[in-house]
Structure 1
């Protein structure tokens, strides 16, 4: 089948469209943190209730992203990307015009579903567009870096937007940008090829994995409240195990499985996905603690906190564009991931020093520099490439869905872990910030060690191959 050649300019536009999607997906995770107080005041709900605005988004994304990756492989990358992006635009518009809390929660969940469809499709589009290994790594590096920039930017501008224009505009800003991405996708992304042997979408497995992700996310989120309803928690855990066993058995015998478990045997896939899980477990709890720290300890307003953080988001963009490509060229993907994870650890240590010394502001600025500007901009692209580069092109949608699920579930796990540490600190009269940050130090160290383990294992394998070659 003849495939038209894509010009360099068209490739750049396609990459820009994909990056717009991942940027606003990542931005939407963090931008609400500074806007939540405004929502709390508007709807007159407690902080615990208003937090569901964030939680439902994460649950919906984690639950549907694997199905989104599968549909991108089966139905078509372009169709699923445009469908997901349009759903995200409409849900953002609806959320901005919310007149009730229930309506806002529903729109927030639909946003999660929209990005769960769009992001795996965007990654599959990049893989299909950039065929040379070097340009593909460079494209995925830019794509992953935009996620890191989105996280950092959302944390910075959330307070500014909510303070100057109102919390509704954290949703309205999505509409013109993602709407433009949809128009460009219609114009420049090539139409999906018709496969000679179409596969079934396997909707039942999609529903099962979505149910599993939802239950897992709920169990993690509710981990700190087991004592209040132990019977319900135990029943849900048993149901989760039974459903998981049935899902695995079904996938192993199904003619068109949703999850190909053989992917996890490919080089780097397991390490990249564990890295995504640990990165989510570090960053989202850090955002949560930083938001509280700036406003409750240092006394910043939401707009002041936004102004403080904004330059670091600009710096993350500079690093992604000018520094990251050189790191990949000089260090390779794995060493770059180790460097980025080390910055994440250093940032947490600076956060601890800020809280336990008298030089609060200088150390907290060091923490933001290491995590917002350096850590996320370097680590996220590295683990994304690692999780996908060895996967066959026909399964890149699924592989990116798995990677997104790991990162999202990691965020839920990390938030629950920090929540547990805070509860224990309250009961035992420990320091709340010290307990939460100590847990993040452990997670960050594990992230570095698992990447080092992969690097040394690859060195051993390479040395063994050279030893087998006859002189």
Structure 2
């Protein structure tokens, strides 16, 4: 296949821009969605996480589909699915219809992302040109994450939440028009992607997240039925040893497992904190969605500016030290914001007569924007460290699969972060918005900081245990038995 032109390459990479916008955009849509569709806490968290779960569940086989069949057709199928999901979300009349649209969006994004990378790098020799193509691919995702806060936020504020989904449709049509006539040779690698396994995995993840997030509000019989389906899905996957086609050389590598745990914990905190802050500041009807976007946008901007620095520090210090430094910065940033959020919101809620004399109320942005910049800095340190650590630990021929699975762990972590915060009651209720959500928000942010530290601790335990086993040549349990 001949290399695509620079213009067409950029158009293809708009698929990554759309994916980034859908990942972050839901945060500025939540307030309006909750108000108009009367979404409960369990339904709301499922709406927020459905895209992440569908993306995570389908991504492990999406690369195999692109490698086994015509990459152009797989890419186009993913773009069509994504556009259909946008339309379904815009037409949604209930939580179930909205979740359906988000699932279709996520599945489309999972199909298009690996195929897009294959299309833009095909025919390019290894070196500068290929590196530039990959840089465009990655940059589009980062730009999309930032635009996903501002553009949908403006649409929600000025035109309503339905238009915030429809604004992606013209971009979808542009991508389809630019790639429809693209020629791509069909691939025949003799591998059959495990579509059924990926679907069952996705359903299992959705059941687990929904059960966790709605455990305090769902009816017992409904929960039992969902739990039974989850057990069946888990047993079926265990009997067939998971989704077929995922190389064991990757998933059994301790450093890869550690990277997944660390990154999953970090994104549980990142996504969970954005979810809570968006609900707390969006207003009762989501009318302040653009304000919320401008408060949070410092995070992706700082991430984009510091990711290159993080990559260079990994070369100098090593992945574990850089990730640990980033996790500490993340915990400190959210801990500061949790404390400041509680104090500032409570002060704003008090009548002027109850405030001490000469008290000057500080605006919320003074605490929030620096904290969001700190979170972005932590991502700039942690994401390159986890990616480099995982890729360096796995065989060369499986590095694309490694990158996809790392993204899967990241998305699962984000969905679980939202579910846990909902389950423990740390998400401000609709009645609290605009009143005094400070205490609930402060608690949620401290929990989010803890998620990153838990992920870091879990990764450290995995690395320490495996290092101990390699030194002695025997499992830790065996040595403990000998010592007794």
Shorter chain as denominator, the TM-score bin is: 0.7 to 0.9
Q: Which residue of 2 aligns with 1:283?
A: 270
- Residue of structure 2 aligned with 1:376, choices 376, 379, 382: 379
Q: Distance in 2 between matches of 1:78 and 1:154?
A: 26
Q: For residues 167-191 of structure 1, give each alpha carbon's deviation from its aligned partner in whole angstroms, at most 9, with x where no partner exists.
A: 1232222223344344455577x72
Whether the 8 Å contact between 2:255 and 2:393 is mirrored in structure 1 is yes
**Residue 363 in structure 1 maps to residue 367 in structure 2:** yes
Q: Distance in 1 between matches of 2:211 and 2:38?
A: 27
- Residue of structure 1 aligned with 2:417, choices 409, 414, 417: 414
Structure 1 residues 459 and 104 mapped into 2: Cα distance closer, same or farther (>3 Å)?
closer
Q: For residues 158-208 of structure 1, give each alpha carbon's deviation from its aligned partner in whole angstroms, at most 9, with x where no partner exists.
A: 3322001221232222223344344455577x724533x522234443443
Q: Distance in 1 between matches of 2:26 and 2:131?
A: 31
**Residue 245 in structure 1 maps to residue 249 in structure 2:** no
- Residue of structure 2 aligned with 1:208, choices 173, 196, 200: 200
**Residue 191 in structure 1 maps to residue 194 in structure 2:** no
Q: Which residue of 2 aligns with 1:443?
A: 451
**Residue 117 in structure 1 maps to residue 111 in structure 2:** yes
Shift in Å, 1:26:
2.7
Q: List alignment gaps of at least 5 residues for structure 1.
A: 252-256, 464-471
Q: Which residue of 2 aligns with 1:468?
A: none
Structure 1 residues 142 and 162 mapped into 2: Cα distance closer, same or farther (>3 Å)?
same
TM-score, normalised to structure 1's length?
0.76
Q: For residues 260-279 of structure 1, give each alpha carbon's deviation from its aligned partner in whole angstroms, at most 9, with x where no partner exists.
A: 22222447432332233223
Q: For residues 91-149 of structure 1, give each alpha carbon's deviation from its aligned partner in whole angstroms, at most 9, with x where no partner exists.
A: 32443355676554433321121012122334555776777589878876775565455
Q: For residues 291-346 of structure 1, give each alpha carbon's deviation from its aligned partner in whole angstroms, at most 9, with x where no partner exists.
A: 1333469x9932332334446544544445x6556556655655554444343223
**Residue 159 in structure 1 maps to residue 153 in structure 2:** yes
Q: Distance in 2 between matches of 1:139 and 1:386?
A: 23
Q: Distance in 2 between matches of 1:366 and 1:142?
A: 28
- Residue of structure 1 aligned with 2:23, choices 20, 29, 37: 29
TM-score, normalised to structure 2's length?
0.74
**Residue 343 in structure 1 maps to residue 329 in structure 2:** yes
Whether the 8 Å contact between 2:45 and 2:213 is mirrored in structure 1 is no
Structure 1 residues 165 and 333 mapped into 2: Cα distance closer, same or farther (>3 Å)?
farther
Shift in Å, 1:40:
4.0
Structure 1 residues 153 and 265 mapped into 2: Cα distance closer, same or farther (>3 Å)?
same
**Residue 85 in structure 1 maps to residue 85 in structure 2:** no
Structure 1 residues 305 and 447 mapped into 2: Cα distance closer, same or farther (>3 Å)?
same
Q: For residues 31-67 of structure 1, give each alpha carbon's deviation from its aligned partner in whole angstroms, at most 9, with x where no partner exists.
A: 1222233334444555654554334333432332233
Q: Distance in 1 between matches of 2:287 and 2:154?
A: 12
Q: Distance in 2 between matches of 1:206 and 1:218?
A: 18
How do 1:2-17 residues align onto structure 2 when only pairs under 5 Å count?
Answer: 6=3, 10=6, 14=9, 16=10
Q: List alignment gaps of at least 5 residues for structure 2.
A: 345-361, 430-437, 472-484
Which structure has more helix as a fraction of its residues? Answer: 1
Q: Distance in 2 between matches of 1:66 and 1:176?
A: 28
Shift in Å, 1:456:
9.0
Structure 1 residues 132 and 375 mapped into 2: Cα distance closer, same or farther (>3 Å)?
farther
**Residue 354 in structure 1 maps to residue 340 in structure 2:** yes
Q: For residues 358-407 of structure 1, give each alpha carbon's deviation from its aligned partner in whole angstroms, at most 9, with x where no partner exists.
A: 56542222211112x32334433443454445556765564344233222
Structure 1 residues 352 and 41 mapped into 2: Cα distance closer, same or farther (>3 Å)?
closer
Q: Tell me the SS of whatever aligns to 1:194.
A: coil
Q: Which residue of 2 aligns with 1:272?
A: 259
Structure 1 residues 211 and 455 mapped into 2: Cα distance closer, same or farther (>3 Å)?
closer
Whether the 8 Å contact between 2:32 and 2:287 is mirrored in structure 1 is no
Structure 1 residues 91 and 394 mapped into 2: Cα distance closer, same or farther (>3 Å)?
farther
Q: Distance in 2 between matches of 1:384 and 1:286?
A: 22
Number of aligned residues: 444
Q: Which residue of 1 aligns with 2:291?
A: 304
Q: Tell me the SS of whatever aligns to 2:174.
A: helix
Q: Distance in 2 between matches of 1:423 and 1:228?
A: 22
Shift in Å, 1:242:
1.9
Whether the 8 Å contact between 2:25 and 2:152 is mirrored in structure 1 is yes
Whether the 8 Å contact between 1:141 and 1:381 is mirrored in structure 2 is no
Q: Distance in 2 between matches of 1:135 and 1:379?
A: 27
Whether the 8 Å contact between 1:36 and 1:51 is mirrored in structure 2 is no
Query: CA RMSD of the aligned region, Å?
Result: 4.4
Q: Which residue of 1 aligns with 2:356?
A: none
